Structure 1
Amino acid sequence: MLYYLALALRPKFGALNVFTYHTVRAGCAAVTAFLLCLLFGPALIRRLRGLDLGQHIRKDHVENLHALHNHKAGTPTMGGALIIVAAVCSLFLWSDPFNRLLAVATAVLCALALVGFIDDYIGLRRKRNRGLSAKAKFTGQILVGSVLGAYLYFTPVTADRPLLALGDVRDWAALAAVMRDGALAARCPKAQHLLDEAAFPPTPDSTQRTQILAALNAFISRLNLYDEGNWGDVTLSPFLKKLIETGQYATDKEAMVTANRQLLADAYPAVFTSVTPDLHTKVEIPGLKKVFIPLGILYVVFVVLVIVGSSNAVNLTDGLDGLAAGASIISLLAYTGIAYIVSRADWSEYLYLIYVPEASELAVFGAAMLGAGMGFLWFNSHPAEVFMGDTGSLALGGAIGTLAILTKQELLLICVGGLFVIEAASVIIQVTSYKMRGKRVFKMAPLHHHFELSGWSESKVVIRFWIIALLFALLSLGTLKLR
């Protein structure tokens, strides 16, 4: 709302233009969400107490753990609603609500919050710490993930950049040789005037490389380069053959430029990288330059796995005061930065990341979520005045997973959310070991309870796990340059 108000008033009040900047609005969204939590948190906690929506501590697992946590019985839960409401209200004020990626992320957030709310409500009404059955909860998560996956399969979020970038040239010396010997110009006599041999020195510096790219991009943008008589000796890639056979090459300007660029890559594979089609169904491997896993229709299944995995991993981590909230804030901070990076053509090109032009509003979304998370942590820190419940944990995990998917950094989530992966893995290892060997690996799973039962205080476990989460997030950001 305030975004459009700033747009409307900036002709008269130029200073308001600052509120159209994504970074400024992201900061304002975080602060607003945080303040909303501080303002309405106490009232919500009193309301939850009045409704007798307190946590039940189960005694049927480990007696020692029950003794450690028994004092928490009756603490209000379902406090995750505070995170959701504060974040959504902040987004209403500071974001562009017509940005489709923002709408998608918000829809997933609210849908998973609803699944968690139903689970919490049923459990509290039954006066026991069990709500929805595992099957019902998984069904809800799978449904949300399936809708998201299908939407992204049919409406891509990525933007193919048909023009050549600096990273698309494999060997500048080889390029200079090709240009200087006139071979390329001879293949395209109609566009020969665009290629100035003098502009291609044997070892171009950074300024000259930019000039060379400008000349080449003008070259591939003017007219159809392909002619069987001049390019008949070139083995065409299936992607280029399809563009030519379907007629897109001759009728669509962007398809023409893309085809021309691919034609250069097919003719001179040692000089140019190939165009990567269908990026929206490919998964980038972190740390490798333009290496993707093509999934096709299976990308929908992959999205479901990410959503179910991330939401459940955060849910499993939510067992100590402030643990899940603090770790989620760290992961959200990392993906907020990534969202801003991939929304910029220059930065994504420099780091060889997939360009997602609409992702700038995801930075505002991530900032609002981490601000709301910090506001909730104000009340959830030890000793907790309120628990987030599945309402918050499923939504937070889903939000992190959705950011990973929409920024096309899905596999990086394993590192960004490394702590959540460890917590979930500890449960899998414990269950598998007990079923196969009849023995437990840990004193109790998830892993944070193992350390509690080993004598660590709750605060020490939480702070040390936060440190681990921060190290994982920093490591993941460091890998962005490893290409």
Structure 2
Amino acid sequence: MLYHFLYPLHAYFSALNVFRYITFRAIGATLTAFLILLLVGNRFIKALQKNQIGQVVRDDGPASHFSKRGVPTMGGVLILFAVTVTTLLWVDLANSFVWIILGVTLWFGAIGAYDDYCKIKKQNSKGLSARGKIFWQILGASIAGLLIYFDPNFDGHLSFPFLKNIQPDLGTYYVLFAILVVVGASNAVNLTDGLDGLATGPTVVTSSVYLLFSYLAGHAGLAAYLQIPYVPGAGEVAIFCGALVGASLGFLWFNAYPAQIFMGDVGSLSMGAALGMVAIIIKQEMLLCIVGGVFVMEAVSVILQVGFFKMTGGKRIFLMAPFHHHFEKKGWTEPKVVVRFWIISIVLGLTALATLKLR
């Protein structure tokens, strides 16, 4: 919106020429989203407390989590508000990619909001049924996948980190692949969101890395030099990523241990879907396995635990899944688990950046 209102005036006020630059608008989006969270955060928390919208804790979880009962939840609503307003404020509204990402983010946010509502209403940790949740997730991801597939600049080739000469073309099967990426990323972040700040930290790292990759993918010269797929218009996606970085940092201000608020499924499902959609649009889908390695690790731990439990008739690989609970059961304090997972996420983020030169 600012781009459309202020940039045309650069002929009269030369300083407004900065609005043509994606880098300036991405920084502006990051700071704007961060400030929105800081300014509104306390009031939002008080409103949740007043309406008794509190966290529901599973009975079979670590005993240390019982104290979290009643802590305000559904903070993801505030994240979505900040990301949406900020993106619309700083982005070029003619860019279709941003609208697709926002649509997917809000769709998955609505699924998470209803899931949170069911949990709070029933006062147990079981909200929307697994089948219902997956159905609506697949539906939203399918629509987005088809929109990408029918885009005039669609490219069904996959790009693999470190392997520049391996680029298989999925063709029409790319839609199914897109569904897998978006739904998988959404649920992976959701599984990670189990400790104070645990999901928020890696989201900041992943969004920051994709901010850079989005900018590079939308720049023909830099994309050619770095041998990454060039995607016309992808540069504007960097502004969305900046908004997600800023909103996540602002939310972490209140979500850090001991948390004053939790994001709930409305936050974790939407942020995961957003990251998956960004990865698809800028043709860095496989990179998500690296930069989002913490999310992947958490999801895989649940899959392994459930599969092994069924195959062996009740035996377990981990003391408890998702993976972060395993370390809690081993005696690690919550802050130690969170900070160490953040460290792993930063290392994985740096590894993802290294793929730009190691190809």
TM-score by length of 1: 0.73
C-alpha distance in structure 2 between counterparts of 1:86 and 1:147, whole Å: 24
Report the Cα offset of residue 52 of structure 1. 1.1
Report the Cα offset of residue 306 of structure 1. 0.2
* Structure ID, larger Rg: 1
1:260 corresponding residue in structure 2 = none
Matched, 1:325 2:200: yes
Letter in 2 for 1:459: P
Matched, 1:302 2:177: yes
Note the 1:87-98 alignment, pairs <5 A: 87-98=83-94
Matched, 1:362 2:237: yes
Report the Cα offset of residue 153 of structure 1. 1.1
SS at match of 1:456: coil
TM-score by length of 2: 0.98
C-alpha distance in structure 1 between counterparts of 2:15 and 2:329, whole Å: 57
Letter in 1 for 2:251: F
CA deviation string 1:391-430 (max 9, x = no partner): 0000110111011000001111111101111111111111
Report the more deviating stretch, 471-480 or 282-291. 282-291
Letter in 1 for 2:103: A
**The one of 392, 412, 417 aligned to 2:287:** 412
C-alpha distance in structure 1 between counterparts of 2:80 and 2:210, whole Å: 18
Contact 1:323 1:465 in 2 (8 A): yes
Note the 1:232-251 alignment, pairs <5 A: none
CA deviation string 1:54-98 (max 9, x = no partner): 011221x24xx1x21111110011100111101111112211112
Report the Cα offset of residue 337 of structure 1. 0.5
C-alpha distance in structure 2 between counterparts of 1:27 and 1:473, whole Å: 19
Letter in 2 for 1:377: L
Report the Cα offset of residue 323 of structure 1. 0.5
Letter in 2 for 1:32: T
Seq. identity, %: 48
SS at match of 2:158: strand
Matched, 1:120 2:116: yes
Q: Point out where structure 1 has 5 or more consecutive residues left out of the alignment.
A: 159-279
1:338 corresponding residue in structure 2 = 213
1:74 corresponding residue in structure 2 = 70
**The one of 346, 349, 352 aligned to 1:470:** 346
C-alpha distance in structure 2 between counterparts of 1:479 and 1:99, whole Å: 27
SS at match of 2:171: coil
C-alpha distance in structure 2 between counterparts of 1:125 and 1:22, whole Å: 44
Report the more deviating stretch, 302-311 or 39-48. 39-48
Contact 1:290 1:352 in 2 (8 A): no
SS at match of 1:481: coil
Note the 1:93-242 alignment, pairs <5 A: 93-157=89-153
Tell me the C-alpha RMSD between the 2 structures: 1.0
C-alpha distance in structure 2 between counterparts of 1:51 and 1:137, whole Å: 25
C-alpha distance in structure 2 between counterparts of 1:338 and 1:56, whole Å: 38
C-alpha distance in structure 2 between counterparts of 1:447 and 1:17, whole Å: 49
Letter in 2 for 1:29: A
C-alpha distance in structure 2 between counterparts of 1:152 and 1:11, whole Å: 36
2:16 corresponding residue in structure 1 = 16
C-alpha distance in structure 2 between counterparts of 1:306 and 1:342, whole Å: 19
Report the Cα offset of residue 482 of structure 1. 2.2
SS at match of 1:282: coil
Report the Cα offset of residue 154 of structure 1. 1.1
1:435 corresponding residue in structure 2 = 310
Letter in 2 for 1:443: L
2:329 corresponding residue in structure 1 = 453
CA deviation string 1:113-151 (max 9, x = no partner): 011111111111111112100000001110111111111
Q: Point out where structure 2 has 5 or more consecutive residues left out of the alignment.
A: none
Report the Cα offset of residue 290 of structure 1. 3.8
Report the more deviating stretch, 335-344 or 43-52. 43-52
2:320 corresponding residue in structure 1 = 444
SS at match of 2:355: helix
Report the Cα offset of residue 156 of structure 1. 4.2
C-alpha distance in structure 2 between counterparts of 1:473 and 1:340, whole Å: 16
Report the Cα offset of residue 157 of structure 1. 4.1
Contact 1:284 1:291 in 2 (8 A): yes
Letter in 1 for 2:51: L
C-alpha distance in structure 2 between counterparts of 1:332 and 1:26, whole Å: 12
